[in-house]
Amino acid sequence: MSSLTVQNIQGSASSSNTINVASGHKISGAAGSLNVSGTCVQIAVKNIATKQVINNAANATGVDTVIVSDAFTPKFADSKIFIAIHPAIGFGNPNGGFGIKRTTGGVDTFIQKNPVGSYSGSANDIPNSYMSFDEDPIAGHTSHTPYAIGTVTDMYALDTHGTAPASIVYTMTFHSVAGNEILRLNQPMTNPTMGFSQSVIILQEWCS
């Protein structure tokens, strides 16, 4: 096998500055060896079925939920991580909001924060939240609502992390200063042993 070492490759003017790869041929390399703007480098999907109830235990800073990614190591320091979180929520009364927390090297950073603030009497009560609400979205106050679970509150963020090759963990956090909040994840309020769901966290690394 021969090797070619160059600093730059460019197409000719006669080919409209385009480099063509002949049909049936391909350019291959190790994972992370190609850094092309606008391309996806890696993707990780995690389904979480662990049931959780947070009852009057949240605070303004935020408490961790069970929706936590596995360690994710970016290939490039200048890439961006697209995060999608789809929590499965049972009937409750959150009186607060959710946040997206990045942890790397023992340092926590909240990303994609809502500048308006969170549910309470002041816009600055829980500023690290992505969003906030009083009742959960499936609280229709019907006789069947306590049996329901819904993935109807979704969060998305594009994180300029700057941490490669260090690993990152993303966590959905729960924030409230109400004092009477209750959040159910992956289970209904009524007959929790007879119903369950799965929350999902999706991470994609994209080249800048």
Domain locations in the chain?
A: 36-206
pLDDT of residue 100: 96
Q: Looking at domain 36-206, does it have CATH number 2.60.40.650?
A: no
pLDDT of residue 55: 94
31-46 tens-digit pLDDT = 667 778 889 999 999 9
Over 70: is that where the pLDDT of 143 sits?
Answer: no
Confidence grade of residue 74 (pLDDT, cut at 50, 70, 90): very high
CA distances to 19, 84, 86 from 112, in Å: 38, 12, 15
Distance CA 197, CA 182 (A): 18
Q: Which of 104, 114, 98, 86 is nearest to 160 (CA)?
A: 104
Q: What's the predicted TM-score (pTM) here? A: 0.84
User: Would you say 188 and 51 are in contact if contact means Cβ atoms under 8 Å apart?
Assistant: no
pLDDT of residue 141: 61
Most confident region among 5-14, 63-72, 136-145, 178-187 by mean pLDDT = 63-72
105-138 tens-digit pLDDT = 999 999 988 767 656 666 667 888 888 888 776 6
List the 182-185 sheet strands across, edge first.
Answer: 52-55, 182-185, 89-93, 149-150
Distance CA 150, CA 91 (A): 9
Distance CA 82, CA 11 (A): 32
Average pLDDT over residues 194-199: 86
